[in-house]
Amino acid sequence: MNGKSGVTGNRGVTYLAALMIITVMGIMLGKAGQSWTAQLEREREEELIFSGLQIQRALQRWHQPASGEHVATKLTDMKDLLKDPRTAQTVRRLRKLYRDPVSKKDWLLIMDPTKGIVGVRPDSDAQPLKQDGFTDELKYLSGKQKYRDWEFRYRPTTVVVKTASGTTATGTSTTSATTVRSTVR
């Protein structure tokens, strides 16, 4: 046997070991990348819930002003939530105009013929990571299969009035609404 064949055989084993190490590292990096992507999706979903709730609460304050404030009027532009044009002083219903963090596009506006803008929803057909475990304020989001089904909208509250004869409930009802694309930039 010649001395060269032993050295050549060791090189082959070393080459195979290096290939296996690279393969294992590639698999591990792939798993880490998937984990990182999932974390980013969770963060975007949390941001979606936060910004959606901010808009929903601003719409609630717009459509149901506190007693002593102006009367409720039709909302035709989301920018009016930044500085309410119905009041002489600066009243901010919303701190800033949020964009849909999931699709990175404009929100789809939910329009009502009499109230104007009554809500927003994401423009994404992706499946939400969160399916249940929502707070009472968001329990209606449970089981939705697409982000597009997540609506953050004004929901009229029922006012309970106690009278001498008993308790009666009064409130407003919602009317049909349509969806249009917003132009928030």
| Structural domain boundaries enclosing 132 | 3-181
pLDDT at 39: 87
What 3-state class would DSSP assign to 7?
helix
pLDDT at 162: 59
pLDDT at 30: 76
- For 33-50, b/e burial (b = at least 16 CB within 10 A) is eeeeeeeeeeebbeebbe
pLDDT at 21: 86
pLDDT at 32: 72
**Residue ranges in the chain whose pLDDT is less than 50:** 1, 169, 171-176, 184-185
pLDDT at 180: 60
Q: Is the pTM of this model over 0.75?
A: no
pLDDT at 66: 76
pLDDT at 178: 61
Question: How many folded domains does the chain comprise?
Answer: 1
Q: Tokens 């949020």 sit at which residue? A: 98
